[in-house]
Structure 1
Amino acid sequence: MHTPRTDPESRPGDERSTDLIRWAAFSCALVPVVLLWYGTSPAGAAGTTLGLAAVTAVCRLLLRRSERYAARLLTEAHAPCAAHRGRRQSTGTGSHRGGRHSGGNSPVG
């Protein structure tokens, strides 16, 4: 049976992505064996192995990057509200919204 991790830094997505990468690596090893079994040339099986390994490596990189991004978003979501304020804070009256103000109701000319 599969036991959950007790590592304090582990997140639920880590275990699933690790399992996914393990299955991908297993497939990279299994596909060339099947190709050789069915009579494909060793060079063709080797080329397929390299292609699958490259695709698996890129997918792993993208998966890890998306996990880090999601973890960062979760961290920012739990941060204080002051961290989310940008340069522009609401002034309440809207009198400092930018643009030219001529002082009265006279047209700008």
Structure 2
Amino acid sequence: MDGGPTDGGVTEVLRWAAFSCALAPAVLLWYGTPPADAAGTALGLAAVTGACRVLLRQSERGAARLRAEERVPHRGRRRRTGTGAHRGHRHPGGTTPAD
């Protein structure tokens, strides 16, 4: 992990998801659901949790990349001071210096 501000939140979400993957089948078994159904539920929850984990990590990497790009100035780019502010171009209707 890169130690970013959201790492704790993502880790916490993943812990709760893992806990739910274990708790849901246990509750189903407690209430008399057949073991095969409880195991199928556990596998389904684990698959969804894994997919969410991949998406969260991908999102974190994208956000970290954007933050890094914001900190590094772009090379070779010049700022415009306004519309039409091009060097060396004459604009019609402009004033000329008086002699």
Name the TM tier (shorter chain).
0.7 to 0.9
Pairwise CA RMSD:
2.1
One-letter amino acid of the counterpart of residue 73, structure 1: L
Task: Say whether residues 1:10 and 2:3 are aligned partners.
Answer: yes
Match of 2:60 in 1: 67
Give the 3-state SS of the residue equivalent to 1:81 in structure 2. coil
TM-score (norm 2): 0.75
Match of 1:44 in 2: 37
Matches within 5 A, 1:81-96: 81-82=74-75, 85=77, 92=86
One-letter amino acid of the counterpart of residue 46, structure 2: A
Aligned residues: 81
Structure 2, unaligned runs of 5 or more: 78-85, 90-99
Give the 3-state SS of the residue equivalent to 1:82 in structure 2. coil
Give the 3-state SS of the residue equivalent to 1:50 in structure 2. helix
Shift of 1:31: 0.1
Shift of 1:81: 2.4
Match of 2:21 in 1: 28
TM-score (norm 1): 0.68
One-letter amino acid of the counterpart of residue 54, structure 2: L
Give the 3-state SS of the residue equivalent to 2:72 in structure 1. coil
- Which of these residues, 38, 51, 75, is aligned with residue 58 of structure 1? 51
Query: Aligned partners of 2:39, 2:74: CA distance in 1, in Å?
Result: 54
